[in-house]
Amino acid sequence: MEAMAQPKYKGKRYRLDKPELLAPAGNLEKLKFAVHYGADAVYIGGQKYGLRSNADNFTFEEMKEGVEFAAKYGAKVFVATNIYAHNEDIEGIEEYLRSLQDAGIAAIIAADPAIIEVAKRAAPKLEVHLSTQQSTLNWQAVKFWKDEGLPRVVLGRETSLEEIAAIKEHVDIEIEAFIHGAMCSSFSGRCVLSNHFTDRDSNRGGCCQSCRWKYDLFEDGREDAASWVSEEDRLMQQAAPAPAPFKPGVTQIPLFQPQDNPFTMGSKDLCMLEHIPDLIEVGIDSFKIEGRMKSIHYVATVVNVYRQAIDSYMADPENYVLKPEWIEEINKAANRPLNTGFFYDTPDHEDHIYEPEEKAVPYDFAGLVMEYDEKTGMAVIQQRNHFKPGDEIEFFGPDGTFFKQVVGRIEDENGQALDAARHPLQLVRMKVDQPVRFFDMMRKRKN
């Protein structure tokens, strides 16, 4: 994947202390990887009131364990309670919020004013951060929420750098913004496609990702169509399911041939790695990565790269240089083509995906380093995906570990040679070419 173009923000700039790097954590294991690989804070979902009902999500006991783990690294844990509640959703919310407070959660991310007000009253130790679901885009709206007592606003993804600068100029409040991950093809917090097509409420955690579906397109039917419709199109129409609403006697013209790719409405993913100076200097307080449903490999890779870029800039802003290897790493975790969202301009047709997505080079999370013996160069690897002698692999970690090698002999815990590591979470021993550390990851190119 080629590097993206380099637009430059020319508006007013603010210099900040190091911004927070906020990472997604779909379950307890992902939380630990996110923190270990450099996140200053993580956001998770509980069993209720969040928008990712299909994620593993956390029990209160898991939250407590996650908070304790994060605290060892000086990191915080936030919980998404960002549904738009119906009457039946409100029952039990006070008890739920108090339980979050008791678990040591630092803040909730909320959109519904009812949940916000209940939290302020019932769990005052919880900070309340305004969710991106509120589509907050201007400084007067931000000021409204500051006046309501909120210390942080998560801006809508449609906010530009110039608009963020105006917000920082007018309102003294923490600004959180998405800087990497999936974009919604609808307006932030306003999509009802899922509700309409599947009766799954996107604003109560049930989004079915309608914009990523493959669609057929039909030209509006015309009464006189029969005189100019080709025989091929007529046969295709008869074979295809009728679009709704279908008018009897009116020819519906399919716009796709059988060999054509179906239409989707999916947006390219956001990536602002190449624009770290602009993000910092415009005044964004928290850099948010999307992806509670993403893999451990995705979370660790993306967090690790942004951690390096942020730290490098803050160490020497005047001589900061974007490293090509950071872009290569991001591409190894990318699910879709990348762009800069709304930060510099309004996305157009080139920023959407109309054909089957061209995946970046896909890698599997193959193993996790559990132990390393400096004298022998042997590592104990916990298997996460099938690998075998002869496979080319990569090791990477949060402390700068990165090297490639070919897998040699692998053996079980009793020293018996194995033809492959094929069992989930199996512990195997193998010689590594360079030193590794606990929690370094091993990956391999798929296929």
For 192-229, write each residue's pLDDT tens digit: 776 777 766 665 556 667 777 777 777 665 544 444 44
Question: Of 125, 95, 90, which is closest to residue 108 (Cα–Cα)?
Answer: 125
pLDDT attached to residue 246:
47
CB atoms within 10 A of CB 59: 13
pLDDT at residue 250 is higher than 60: no
pLDDT at residue 432 is higher than 60: yes
Q: What is the pLDDT of residues 253-283, one digit of tens each?
A: 666 676 666 667 778 889 999 999 999 999 9
The percentage of residues in the chain with a pLDDT greater than 90, rounded to a whole number, is 63
User: Between residues 184 and 340, which one has the greater pLDDT?
Assistant: 340
The domains located in the chain, with CATH, are: 20-190+266-351 (3.20.20.70), 216-254 (no CATH), 363-445 (2.40.30.10)
Residues with Cβ within 8 Å of 416's Cβ and at least 6 positions away in sequence, in order, are: none
> Which one of 290-294, 339-343, 357-361, 386-390 scores highest in mean pLDDT?
386-390
Q: Look up residue 45 and give its amino acid.
A: G
d(CA 116, CA 136): 15
pLDDT attached to residue 243:
47
Q: How confident is the model at residue 3 (pLDDT cuts 50, 70, 90)?
A: very low
Compute the average pLDDT of residues 74-93.
91
Q: How confident is the model at residue 38 (pLDDT cuts 50, 70, 90)?
A: very high
Q: Look up residue 141 and give its amino acid.
A: A
User: Between residues 250 and 103, which one has the greater pLDDT?
Assistant: 103
Beta strands in 290-423 (DSSP E): 338-339, 363-373, 378-383, 392-396, 402-406, 410-411, 417-418
Q: Look up residue 383 and give its amino acid.
A: Q
pLDDT attached to residue 226:
43
Half-sphere exposure of 194 (CA within 13 A, CB side): 19
pTM: 0.85
**110, two tokens:** 């909320």
Compute the average pLDDT of residues 10-28.
84
pLDDT at residue 191 is higher than 50: yes
CA distance readout (Å), 213 to 210, 290, 353: 5, 20, 11
Q: Which alpha helices (H) appear in 37-160, and where do they start and end?
A: 60-72, 87-90, 93-102, 113-122, 139-147
pLDDT at residue 387 is higher than 80: yes
Half-sphere exposure of 131 (CA within 13 A, CB side): 26
pLDDT attached to residue 282:
94
